[in-house]
Amino acid sequence: MLNIEIIPCLNDNYSYLLYDRDTNTVAIVDPSDFKACDQIISKKYNKLDYILNTHHHFDHVGGNEKLKEKYKSKILGYEIDKNRIPGIDICLKEKQNFKIGNTSFEVIFIPGHTKGHIAFHFKNEKIVFTGDTLFSLGCGKVFEGTNKQMFNSLNKLKNLPIDTKIYCGHEYTKKNLEFCLEYDSNNELLKKKSNWIYSKMESSLPTVPISIGEEKNTNIFLRCNEPSIKNALRLDNASEQEIFSKLRDLKDSF
Ligand code: ZN
Ligand code: FE
């Protein structure tokens, strides 16, 4: 059994503390900030076996070295980022399986936001950590890869079972909602969801996790084949991937 605790860090980042109860194994996904993470780790478990990084950006690896120093943790990241992830010990490969105690995950390679971005898919638990690739109602900016790579990466995530829970790297949901409503204004499920999002925001509660199924119905970046969206962009005959690129460009200046 795997416990997950959300740790809000910095302005709008989320780190995730994982606990494999059967084996008393502790791991953290993307420790943005040493202090915020350690406050909870030291109080709850006072140990940290593994640090999992989705990508090399500072707001995801900022706590790596101090946590490693304090807890002698092993740091895991994608192999091609071995020179960019601070303190990395274990270089993961695409589709590799790794165990946190008795709980295993598979590495999904999802480049686009960065060249070495990965997701951690816990198949049995139906959980995926998507970093800055898939957010609730949005997707990450394409910094190092191409729009095509990002599109393909999102498709990999979109094809996971619909009841898979998504834990993403940032709380960007409100801003993402505004963008989705702009170009997918007739989506009833999206409108329904907006009330739920505003109530979470009012209580300062996270809008994660969300499910793949929900996102397929409401996240515009996963709906690039919808005729109504193509029409709203006045690109009725464009391909799914062209619609994605257009939306990504529009979102960059939204
Ligand atoms: Zn990032
Ligand atoms: Fe980030």
Residue 58 to residue 49: CA distance in whole angstroms:
21
Average pLDDT for 210-216: 98
| Residue 88 burial by Cβ neighbours in a 10 Å radius (0-12, 13-18, 19+) | buried
Residue 239 to residue 98: CA distance in whole angstroms:
37
Whether the per-residue pLDDT at 50 is higher than 90: the answer is: yes
Q: How far is the CA of 140 from the centre of ligand 1 (A)?
A: 7
Residue 173 to residue 39: CA distance in whole angstroms:
26
Q: What six digits make up the tokens of 162?
A: 């619909």
CATH T-level assignment (fold) for domain 2-252: Metallo-beta-lactamase; Chain A (3.60.15)
Q: Is the pTM of this model over 0.95?
A: yes
Q: With the CA atoms of 156, 158, 159 and 163 taken in that order, what torsion angle do they form, in degrees rounded to the nearest 10?
A: 130
Average pLDDT for 75-95: 98
Query: Residues 124-161: pLDDT tens digits?
Result: 999 999 999 999 999 999 999 999 999 999 999 999 99
Is residue 48 very low, low, confident or very high in pLDDT (cuts 50, 70, 90)?
very high
Enzyme catalytic residues? 55, 57, 59-60, 113, 132, 170
Among 196, 194, 192, 200, residue whose Cα is nearest residue 178: 194
Average pLDDT for 193-222: 97
Q: Are 79 and 91 in contact (CB under 8 A)?
A: yes
* Through-space distance between the first and last CA atoms of the chain, rounded to whole angstroms: 41
Q: With the CA atoms of 39, 17, 68 and 100 taken in that order, what torsion angle do they form, in degrees rounded to the nearest 10?
A: 150
- Is residue 209 reached through a cis peptide bond, with omega within 30 degrees of 0 on the bond before it? yes
Ligand that comes closest to the CA of residue 133: 1
Q: Are 129 and 167 in contact (CB under 8 A)?
A: yes
Q: How far is the CA of 59 from the centre of ligand 1 (A)?
A: 7
Is residue 1 very low, low, confident or very high in pLDDT (cuts 50, 70, 90)?
confident
